[in-house]
Amino acid sequence: MEQQRINIMQDEPAIVAVDQKPQEPKVEYAAVSERFVALLIDYGVIFLPCRFIGEWLLKTFRPEWDLWHYIAANLAINVLFILYETVFSCGDRMTLGKALVGIAVVKKDLSGPISFVRAFFRAIGYYISGILLLGGFLIAFFDDKHRALHDVFGGSVVVQIRQKSAAERMLLRFLGSLLLITFAWTVYVQFFGAGALVDKYYVSQAQKHLKKIALLEEGHRAQYGYYTHDLLRLSLLSGDPVQFQRDTQKILEPKGFKIGVKENTYKISAYAKDKKHTQVVFAPPER
């Protein structure tokens, strides 16, 4: 409640207000589009280099990779992203994306930066939002402070730290909308599309099985002097023909399997049991 005091130094009494309640600082919260642009940059900082490295590893070691190799590789990338978001969202630090866009993460009461623990829970919130089919991100469109689910976990808000021109704001809105579509498509492809982890595993298993068949072909030629297109004959050389036939039916599509034999060489082709029924081929190097 304001107190009033009379100023006796003037000819006419004047009412002067004292002990006024201090005004809260004017804060502009980051727009959803700006936040998505920052996330795209931060996503690229971690995932793009790891993706290039991962593609090289797949080309080099894919025939020998099992499902746990894929799980471990994806887990390592995501742990790295969580650490990056955690470290650069607490204290007075900012991620590269937020620094370029001109926004920062602070406590929801605007009293300062969030703690390391809060930043960690905030980073975990990204994945919970993704599991909810991006619902955790979409709630930011309906919140007056543009808080997403991960902001709730982190007890945080994202604020503007510099003024932007009208042209820059328009560009950020456009890029943010594009990012939202791209992010949704990436999640779909990763979990449901042809690039899903399980599908890559099926292709890898099919390639490994063709390599086993090729070893049996070499053993058949060493024993009988020629290559054969008869898979049953090859299964007899495996040591456990029943299990070999079961593995073949489990890993490869029943239709499309073929062993082509020509003079002193051969070629094995089949289809994996992924969604696209990817064709896999094995041919020995030319002698």
Tell me the per-residue pLDDT of 57-76, one tens digit each, with 9 for 90 and over. Answer: 766 765 556 667 777 878 88
Which residues, other chains included, contact 253 with Cβ-Cβ below 8 Å and sequence gap of 6+?
Answer: 270, 271, 272, 273, 277
Q: Span 186-206, mean pLDDT?
A: 72
Amino acid 79: pLDDT: 92
Amino acid 3: pLDDT: 44
CB 90 within 8 A of CB 114: yes
Q: What percent of the chain has pLDDT over 90?
A: 44
CB 126 within 8 A of CB 132: no
pLDDT at 43 exceeding the cut of 60: yes
The pTM of this model reads: 0.61
Most confident of 61-65, 102-106, 132-136, 188-192: 102-106
**How many Cα atoms within 13 Å fall on the side-chain side of residue 36?**
24
Segment among 5-19, 54-68, 116-130, 259-273 with least mean pLDDT: 5-19
pLDDT at 1 exceeding the cut of 50: no
Question: pLDDT band for position 9 (50/70/90)?
Answer: very low
Name residue, tokens 């004017």.
26
Amino acid 268: pLDDT: 94
Question: pLDDT band for position 10 (50/70/90)?
Answer: very low
Give the Cβ contact number of residue 103 at 10 Å: 26
Q: Span 13-36, mean pLDDT?
A: 68
Question: For all residues of the chain together, what is the average pLDDT?
Answer: 83
pLDDT at 280 exceeding the cut of 50: yes
The pLDDT tens digits for 151-193 are 999 999 999 998 888 888 888 888 877 777 776 776 666 666 5
Amino acid 8: pLDDT: 35
Question: pLDDT band for position 114 (50/70/90)?
Answer: very high
User: What's the CA gap between 221 and 228, in Å, rounded?
Assistant: 8
Question: pLDDT band for position 138 (50/70/90)?
Answer: confident
Amino acid 285: pLDDT: 83
- Give φ, ψ of 242 to 5 degrees: -65, -50
Q: DSSP characters for the chain? A: --EEEE-TTSSS--EEEESPPPPPPP--BPPHHHHHHHHHHHHHHHHHHHHHHHHHHHHHHGGG--HHHHHHHHHHHHHHHHHHHHHTTBTT---HHHHHHTEEEEETTSSSPBPHHHHHHHHHHHHHHHHTTTHHHHGGGTSTT---HHHHHHTEEEEE-S---HHHHHHHHHHHHHHHHHHHHHHHHHHTSTT-HHHHHHHHHHHHHHHHHHHHHHHHHHHHSS----HHHHHHTTS-HHHHHHHHHHHB-SSS-EEEEETTEEEEEEEBSSTT--EEEE-PPP-
Q: Span 188-212, mean pLDDT?
A: 77
The pLDDT tens digits for 232-251 are 999 999 989 999 999 999 99
Question: pLDDT band for position 211 (50/70/90)?
Answer: very high
Amino acid 67: pLDDT: 64
Q: What percent of the chain has pLDDT over 70?
A: 82
User: What's the CA gap between 105 and 87, in Å, rounded?
Assistant: 12
Amino acid 200: pLDDT: 78
